[in-house]
Amino acid sequence: QLQLQESGPGLVKPSETLSLTCTVSGGSISTNIYYWGWIRQPPGKGLEWIGTISYSGSIYYNPSLKSRVTISVDTSKNQFSLKVNSVTAADTAVYYCTRVWHSDPSWLDPWGQGILVTVSS
């Protein structure tokens, strides 16, 4: 059974870089059938798609975040990562990683448990 687990600092200072890693277990990240994505959810608010990456490195970013976001994949570690630059309080959210079916990019399953990242000095 495929599982995803987010990891990284839970507290980031304003203007610094938020860095998270998603570790995939129970299956290989190197597949042409699935992509891998990041979604976030500010406290008490809705879901926001951040970006999606294939194991071969094709990347798709939310246009509203593209200038500050970098997503990468490390097939040797079965992980993919997220970096958000120049963070502000508005980037405070639960960050989820998920698997994306390439035939229907709205298909997201399973999800990691999520990690709360707070931006505060």
Partner 1 sequence: QSALTQPPSASGSPGQSVTISCTGTSSDVGGYNYVSWYQQHPGKAPKLMIYEVSKRPSGVPDRFSGSKSGNTASLTVSGLQTEDEAYYYCNSYAGTNNFGVFGGGTKLTVL
Residues near partner 1 (CB under 8 A): 37, 39, 46-49, 51-52, 60, 62-64, 96, 100-101, 104-114
* Residue 45 Cβ vs partner 1, minimum distance, rounded to whole Å: 8
Nearer to partner 1, 14 or 109 (CB): 109
Nearer to partner 1, 12 or 49 (CB): 49
* Residue 16 Cβ vs partner 1, minimum distance, rounded to whole Å: 25
Residues 6+ apart with CB under 8 A from 103: 33
Whether the CB-CB separation of 61 and 48 falls below 8 Å is answered with no
Whether the CB-CB separation of 24 and 37 falls below 8 Å is answered with no
Whether the CB-CB separation of 84 and 29 falls below 8 Å is answered with no
* Residue 53 Cβ vs partner 1, minimum distance, rounded to whole Å: 10
Cβ neighbours, 10 Å, residue 94:
17
Nearer to partner 1, 54 or 81 (CB): 54
